[in-house]
A and B are shown apart, each in its own frame.
Chain A
Amino acid sequence: MLFRDLMNVNPWQEMDHIREEMNRLFNSASRPAAQFYPAMNIWTSQDAAVITAELPGYRTKDIQLSITNDELEIKGSRQQEALKDGEQYHRQERGYGEFERTLRLPFLVDTAKVDAKLENGILKLTLPRAEADKPKKIEIKTA
């Protein structure tokens, strides 16, 4: 956890989180939501972060991304091809359904410059670090 996180703990926000979590639990009991989320990798450099996720079969309209402060929310859904009469499955190993996930980013992001690309089933996000969040070198003055 970053130092900033410790300073900014908001009890109301925490309670909201718990409530959302409870809602999700109860909702999942009534509707058959897939209990999965795509695996993600994160790379960082001094100035940016790159996040990749494997999302085969998702089209751009099936994925929603949003960034609030240093949290990235990603939602998506993949539908199964409906079988017609006389068709039957031999094997069914691929997952279907909806997922929703929130990631804490390693730093604040310049949201205006975020780039998202979907290619061959891989989602690639490039998130430039906000200028205000970049480390500053501090000169020490001699008296």
Chain B
Amino acid sequence: MSTEKKSVQKQEALEVATVERTRSGKVFSPPVDIYERNDEIVLLADMPGVDPKTIDIMVEKNILSIQGEIYEQTPPGYELFYREYDSGDYQRSFTLNDSVDQNKIEAKYENGILKLRLPKAEKVKPKKIEVRLKT
């Protein structure tokens, strides 16, 4: 008897065509939850298998982009027997609202989830945000 269950499938990123990458391989668009509180906007992105050191979060003008590279997952000496998911880097961009203080964005990567906190404030210049690693 068949049920309607289906495996979780990743979405390939849409914006790959406009900006080319130097590394070949697939790029996925991570699924996100975004919610708003009184004083901040919180973004959660599922990015399993990403090496935390490679996570890159940029804010330029009003575009917030998040990127992460996965590390090699094929175990040495093994052959693929059955594949349901592909591995690839993650990449996604969002336009930010003027109300976000771009200096105070905080990022955390834990258990394969990237969590960004975007405090509300006035608009400022482009900034790069460092990922705070949790050890």
Residues in A lying within 8 Å of B, measured CB to CB: 18, 21-22, 24-25, 28, 35-45, 48-50, 52, 54-59, 80-81, 83-84, 86-95, 106, 118, 120-122, 126
Contact = CB atoms under 8 A, between A and B. Distances in A.
A92 B34 CA distance: 7
Contacts of A90: 34-36, 41
A18 B79 contact: no
A86 B37 contact: yes
A112 B124 CA distance: 58
Interface string B63-97: 00000000001110111111111000000000000
B74 A35 contact: no
A35 B78 CA distance: 31
Nearest to B73: A52
Interface residues of B, number: 42
Contact of B35 (A22, A24, A50, A83): A83
Name B's interface SS. loop
Given A44-B81, A120-B111, A121-B111, A91 B49 contact: no
Contacts of B49: 54, 120-122
Contacts of A81: 44
A88 B36 contact: yes
Given A36-B5, A120-B51, 8 more contacts: A35-B5, A37-B7, A42-B81, A49-B78, A56-B111, A90-B34, A120-B52, A122-B49
Contacts of B33: 80, 89, 91-94
A89 B35 CA distance: 4
Nearest to A25: B3
Contacts of B48: 54-56, 120-122
Contacts of A80: 33
A49 B73 CA distance: 14
A116 to B, nearest CB: 14
Nearest to A50: B75
